[in-house]
A and B are shown apart, each in its own frame.
Chain A
Amino acid sequence: MSRIWDPKNECLGRDELTALQLSRLKDTLQRVYANIPCYKDKFDTYGVQVDSVRSLDDLQKLPFTTKEDLRLNYPYGMFAVPLKDVVRIHSSSGTTGKPTVVGYTRNDLNNWTELTARFMTAAGVGPEDIVHIAFGYGLFTGAFGLHYGAERIGASVIPMSSGNTDKQIMIMQDYRSTALVCTPSYALTIADRMEKSSKGIKSLSLKVGLFGAEPWSEEMRKEIESRLDIVATDNYGLSEVMGPGVAGECLNRSGMHIFEDHFIPEIIDPDSGEVLPPGSIGELVLTCISKEAFPMIRYRTRDITCLDYEPCACGRTHVRMRKTMGRSDDMLIIKGVNVFPTQIEEILFQVEGCEPHYQLILDRDGSIDTLEVQIEVNERIFFDEMKRQREFVNKIEKKLASALGVGATVKLVEPSSLKRHEGKAQRVIDNRKT
């Protein structure tokens, strides 16, 4: 069992934790009402008086914050402190319009660093580790978040950044990296490249991987673990709330502990906005209760998950969120059926030897939705006999139909023919736009 970075705060009793959350929440509400016009207007419109919040249940009276609010207040409208107190600015990629801009005070950076140190420690990273960070350094929060967390732990950090897989591998071999930080799909790209090289996986010293920034399935975890011979852990965060360090797995790997002394999680029905009882699957909503520069109140993450309040064997008392199962806005509606790309990924993994280079092509034939799953062929799923090759395709089609409740055609394509973008796989192409 790995050690606990901050036992005092990570193992608080529920009553103490609730009291701390309430006091921090009240303080945060006062600050956002006084300093952020968007929140003042929202609260006034909803008729919510900040001092009427007397228990955590009263949180439900408050309006949600959405990505749209951030766009409307671009770039600095949601900052609760003057820019002279902001020491770092990060930003989302902005692939769907204007990017969102987030700021950190010195205290915010210190808290962020503490929280990334927490989950990296929980994943087994210690001062003796060599942490290889293959997230892109830049506006994206991933690389910097884990960078400072690893330094605080006392590990040796290699700020590798993304791209150039051959060089990444050479550095990992020569510098004897023990912990790998990247997206799960990039971990598989590395495995692919290693398997093609003569030296093979034994030339690496990796023990643990800390993967995030995109949803991934349990099957993908098994694949990464067996192919790279490491323990693969999940962590969670989003730049609007802080970046990585909102939640992370301990080595029991039965959900990611949300650091509740800094964030209050809720699960809502994504359609009605109603708060759901503990254990329900729905959209995660987070409220920041310690942030100075960019405190979000009831921020809709769009991530689908559920919360488990049962005590964890590791000793941490903080609630665990299940691996995200997709995004409420990634949810595909095919012939009226809700489908998450991660469901399809799990099915592909269940079919022996099928690795996750796939793409979903949605189209419309007249008024009927069609789903085509393109899979890159590799040696494990290539048969010399047409009969067996067709059987393989039929088997996946049957599994997809029974698990999704909607039919799909499977098309095999040549290796490396599906588009990849900086290690992030482009999973869905929707040609149905009307």
Chain B
Amino acid sequence: MKVEQISIFIENKSGRLAEVTRILGDAGVNIRALSLADTSDFGILRLIVDQTDKAKDVIKAEGFTVSKTEVVAVEVPDRPKGLSGILDVLDAGKVNVEYMYAFVERCGENAVIIFRFDNTEEAIKVLLDNGINVLKGERVCQM
């Protein structure tokens, strides 16, 4: 039910993001979804890729600091109130969202959103109990 995501520390200076994507491209890794959180000094680049371990190894080998985290990919109905309905469910289940970002590809009729929760196991349970579809990791990486 969980999706593996890699996070990379990048200094906020020109060319660093290009460097990361070049390293991944040279290794034949395909980026499926990404989000960049930044401050004036540094940024945290989060990626979902088709080959997580390989991506982590090649980026680390180039001297970057990398970590692997678990996130959840949730199917969200593509209509008004689709997302708010899900957030209400999570709120009622007392699960906090650390951050979230949208997936580019759709899953059938639905949009896909990546969530990082403070309690991943509990979040998945709350979502499933409320009939919300959580995508399998392998499926997300190959979408």
Contact = CB atoms under 8 A, between A and B. Distances in A.
Interface of A: 377-379, 382-387, 389-390, 411-417
Given A384-B69, A415-B65, 19 more contacts: A377-B42, A377-B65, A378-B65, A379-B65, A384-B7, A384-B46, A386-B99, A411-B41, A411-B42, A412-B9, A412-B11, A412-B42, A413-B42, A414-B9, A414-B10, A414-B16, A414-B64, A414-B65, A417-B11
B44 interface: yes
A160 B59 CA distance: 33
Interface string B15-52: 01000000000000000000001010110101000000
Contacts of A413: 11, 42
Q: Which of A383, A412, A414, A417 has the most CB of B within 10 A?
A: A414
A165 to B, nearest CB: 15
Contact of A385 (B10, B64, B66, B116): B116
Nearest to A385: B98
B99 to A, nearest CB: 7
A378 to B, nearest CB: 6
B67 interface: yes
For the complex of A and B, 10 pairs with smallest distance between CB atoms: A384-B7, A384-B69, A386-B37, A382-B65, A377-B65, A377-B9, A414-B11, A382-B9, A385-B98, A411-B41
Contacts of B67: 379, 382-384
Contact of A415 (B5, B64, B98): B64
A413 B41 CA distance: 8
Contacts of B98: 385, 387
A412 B64 contact: no
B108 interface: no
Nearest to B5: A384
Contacts of A390: 39
Interface string B72-98: 000000000000000000000000001
Contacts of B44: 384, 386, 389
A148 to B, nearest CB: 39
A415 B9 CA distance: 9
A414 B63 contact: yes
A25 B37 CA distance: 67
Nearest to A389: B44
A32 B47 CA distance: 71
A412 to B, nearest CB: 5
Interface string B91-129: 000000011000000000000000010000000000000
A377 B42 CA distance: 11
A130 B131 CA distance: 67
Nearest to B6: A384
Contacts of A384: 5, 7, 44, 46, 67, 69, 116
A328 B120 CA distance: 53
A413 B43 CA distance: 10
5 contacts: A384-B44, A386-B44, A387-B98, A389-B44, A414-B63
A413 B39 CA distance: 13
Nearest to B46: A384
A383 B65 CA distance: 10
B12 to A, nearest CB: 10
B34 to A, nearest CB: 13
Q: Which of B16, B42, B44, B98 has the most CB of A within 10 A?
A: B42
Contacts of A383: 67
Contacts of A377: 9, 42, 65
A15 to B, nearest CB: 60
A387 B7 CA distance: 14
A343 to B, nearest CB: 23
Nearest to B61: A196
B7 to A, nearest CB: 4
A415 B69 CA distance: 20
